[in-house]
Structure 1
């Protein structure tokens, strides 16, 4: 077995580790953006109404956020080390170009951490106004932190802000131009809205499951309502930002668009393909439902517009078309379902004054939680795998950026064990906190509960 592990190329191990750690961290990052926003709203309602129910709701969420923030800090640190350990040529060549957003993200994280400390550990001594004023910067810093990180990924898709000399070194570095590259606006907005959608879906899932088990008090109804409200706002916005992102990909990365749609041949009236499995060798798609002209219309606002096919690009620059196409279909399909689900709930809220509580709807909300994570992961597969074989599109291939160090399989296995311990520990703590009675912890987010929970 060890011989077989060593025989696998370092590129495979490096890609696997990066995919695993990014896929795990991105869920925590979404909660780090979305949960503070919900906390801020709950604290605002408590401050405005004086209703202690809102204060208790915020206190329960604050405890969960503390656990997730700590685990997210560890998983995010692992990712930052991986950039240098796994991709030394990439960081050695382009570190000066993309260093600015990572530096600014560090400042945003420290601001967030400072106010997290103030809010969590000073909550028992702060007035409702003080708690509200301490949690708002957390929500802002979380979104700003996500913005800075995603700008680096956007740059990898549409690199700007430097020239690459014949000696392989970068010259004329313009960090601000690199950070605000053409992909920055749509990628950052699309990701931040996704964070709110995932958070709203997961929070609604937790309270829907509790209500299905018979816990239908005011606390759980409020938690469900807040989660559904955030998700119902974010879901249609995500469709708008997704269409915007698709337009920009069509303009800036036509090869990625062709892979997303499994569009092999250049032509007019390009079809939009639903479902299907691309056969790269035969250059056709099996089992798809084609809507003639729809891709041309969506990409260029003209059903007769020409859409470039994969045939226009060197085959050694094609990404894995089946993976990208299927991931794109999963993302769009689940996103459409979430819009319908939360839109139906919002319509019921508007008509009846309450969110639906029928068991079939609550079960659908429970399913929406993991479905939103699946859509999130599929979106990142489209973004990252759709850029392959480039780590910096057009300038450096992923195979040229990877380390040649031995023993990457042991590093990957160690990372798996670390993340397993982190997530099992976090799950256990969250389960313990959820088991606490609702009338505990009246004095602040991390006040002592029943003498045994600090």
Structure 2
């Protein structure tokens, strides 16, 4: 295949735009829930510090949400421009699902976003909390519908074919809740929570390295480490279940991930190696005997089907997903270790005093994004050569376009994305570089917000009088 034909360029363009897009939802999904927790804790405890943290992170959420919306719209247009054949054939199934995402999720997010960002003083703290919950629910519902679409493409169910060769819906419940959907939804939402936790933890660690007395920074870091310690082990279990589901429905993907070209009983777990697809082998392998079969079949002598049992044209690219999967798993292990380290330091009463751990948490800040990207590469490249697994090939899904046209638009996307989203990311980093302060975003520093409204704090002894305050320059 020509490296610069229309199909390859169209795939590269979608890979680039979806990679740029997935970064923002993977952060905003978890951050919306974090904002809801902060808002709820503020109402429950009456402590100003939780509202300070809420106002600190809501500005970052607003920018992230905006960039996620813009990057998501671009991907939708590509279905019509670069993948019109796929849109024609699969549109009766995926079109309504994507429409439901807009109607039930995006409208919910957009409808309450303004209230969440600007409406506390206008609607009251309780209704403002409800608005924050609705935004968090909207981000979850968005993930629900998009993952339903993607999961149906991975494990199609509940469909038939009409005379025009289009997929049609026979059972909406089977389409939406297809065999891989529950596993993908849980895995992705947990990944979003971990991504957010490590970003929040990194920001907290940065400011703890500068000032360990800042109460908001300490709470921020503590909450992030609790999330890492609790969710990372759950994610490892969810990932294992997802892998077993993939083995059942997409065994070729598992064979490529594991690096097994021949069918093996009692397969080992290949930790590292260099895939050589042309000669059907893994060179310089580092392997743990029997562990592969134990993980995938829960039996030491379980049989793992090899890639060579599929025709060459039906095999996914081994080299890419072999390494992307290991990057994802490796990052997950580091997340787990950092979470356990935080528990040990917390037990010793040194969570806010360990400079080494704070530096490690700072370095792990982008790890969630890297893991999500590696996971999506594993999922999407592992589905190849199909757009609808086993039913519609990628080569048969592309629009009849000239390679030069696709290449030109790809270059334009790269330039515009780096300029626009690079500027947005730089602005977010500037916001993160500033430590949260008492009375963040103009809230009165000495007036704690209660569930029933703003209650004036007691007058402090030796406080300056109104006339004294007015006389100051």
- Give the structure-1-normalised TM-score: 0.92
Matched with 1:210 is 207
Matched with 2:226 is 229
Matched with 2:17 is 21
Deviations 1:86-117 (A, max 9, x none): 11111100111122321221121111111111
Number of positions where the alignment pairs a residue of Structure 1 with one of Structure 2? 438
Q: Contact 2:161–2:167 at 8 Å: present in 1 too?
A: yes
Question: Which stretch of the first structure deviates more once superposed, 223-232 or 193-202?
Answer: 223-232
SS in 2 for 1:438: coil
**In structure 1, what is the Cα distance between the partners aligned to 2:129 and 2:177?**
32
Matched with 1:450 is none
Q: Contact 2:202–2:362 at 8 Å: present in 1 too?
A: yes
Match of 2:424 among 423, 426, 433: 426
Matched with 2:413 is 415
Is residue 174 of structure 1 aligned with residue 139 of structure 2? no
Match of 2:286 among 276, 279, 289: 289
Deviations 1:179-199 (A, max 9, x none): 211010101110111000111
**In structure 2, what is the Cα distance between the partners aligned to 1:424 and 1:379?**
23
Match of 1:71 among 67, 79, 93: 67
SS in 2 for 1:369: coil
Question: Which stretch of the first structure deviates more once superposed, 136-145 or 380-389?
Answer: 136-145
Matched with 1:239 is 236
Q: CA deviation at 1:237?
A: 1.3
Within a 5 Å distance, the mapping from 1:366-445 to structure 2 comes to: 366-406=362-402, 407-434=405-432, 435=434, 438-439=437-438, 440-443=440-443
Q: Contact 1:147–1:192 at 8 Å: present in 2 too?
A: no
Distance 1:52 1:97, change over 3 A: same
- Give the structure-2-normalised TM-score: 0.88
**In structure 2, what is the Cα distance between the partners aligned to 1:194 and 1:132?**
25
Q: Contact 2:152–2:181 at 8 Å: present in 1 too?
A: yes
Q: CA deviation at 1:163?
A: 2.1
Q: Contact 2:156–2:388 at 8 Å: present in 1 too?
A: yes
Is residue 49 of structure 1 aligned with residue 49 of structure 2? no
Q: Contact 1:100–1:175 at 8 Å: present in 2 too?
A: no
**In structure 2, what is the Cα distance between the partners aligned to 1:402 and 1:172?**
22
Within a 5 Å distance, the mapping from 1:268-279 to structure 2 comes to: 268-279=265-276
Matched with 1:280 is 277
Deviations 1:260-308 (A, max 9, x none): 0011111210111101111112222122221222121211111111110
Distance 1:259 1:428, change over 3 A: closer
**In structure 1, what is the Cα distance between the partners aligned to 2:271 and 2:430?**
44
Structure 1 vs Structure 2 CA RMSD:
2.0
Deviations 1:327-357 (A, max 9, x none): 11111111111111112212332x2456353
Q: Contact 1:98–1:178 at 8 Å: present in 2 too?
A: no
Matched with 1:38 is 34
Distance 1:309 1:374, change over 3 A: same
Matched with 1:449 is none
Q: Contact 1:208–1:365 at 8 Å: present in 2 too?
A: yes
Task: Please identify runs of 4+ aligned residues in structure 1 that moved more than 4 A.
Answer: 434-437
Within a 5 Å distance, the mapping from 1:9-408 to structure 2 comes to: 9-107=5-103, 108-164=105-161, 167-171=164-168, 173-214=170-211, 216-349=213-346, 351-352=347-348, 355-406=351-402, 407-408=405-406
Return 5+ residue gaps in structure 1 as ranges.
1-5, 445-454
Question: Which stretch of the first structure deviates more once superposed, 50-59 or 120-129?
Answer: 120-129
Return 5+ residue gaps in structure 2 as ranges.
445-473
Distance 1:33 1:354, change over 3 A: farther
**In structure 2, what is the Cα distance between the partners aligned to 1:7 and 1:229?**
47
Q: Contact 1:18–1:79 at 8 Å: present in 2 too?
A: yes
Distance 1:30 1:12, change over 3 A: same
Q: Contact 1:198–1:231 at 8 Å: present in 2 too?
A: no
**In structure 2, what is the Cα distance between the partners aligned to 1:128 and 1:40?**
12
**In structure 1, what is the Cα distance between the partners aligned to 2:282 and 2:275?**
4
Q: Contact 1:94–1:170 at 8 Å: present in 2 too?
A: yes
**In structure 2, what is the Cα distance between the partners aligned to 1:20 and 1:163?**
32
**In structure 1, what is the Cα distance between the partners aligned to 2:281 and 2:247?**
21
Q: CA deviation at 1:135?
A: 0.6
**In structure 1, what is the Cα distance between the partners aligned to 2:214 and 2:336?**
27
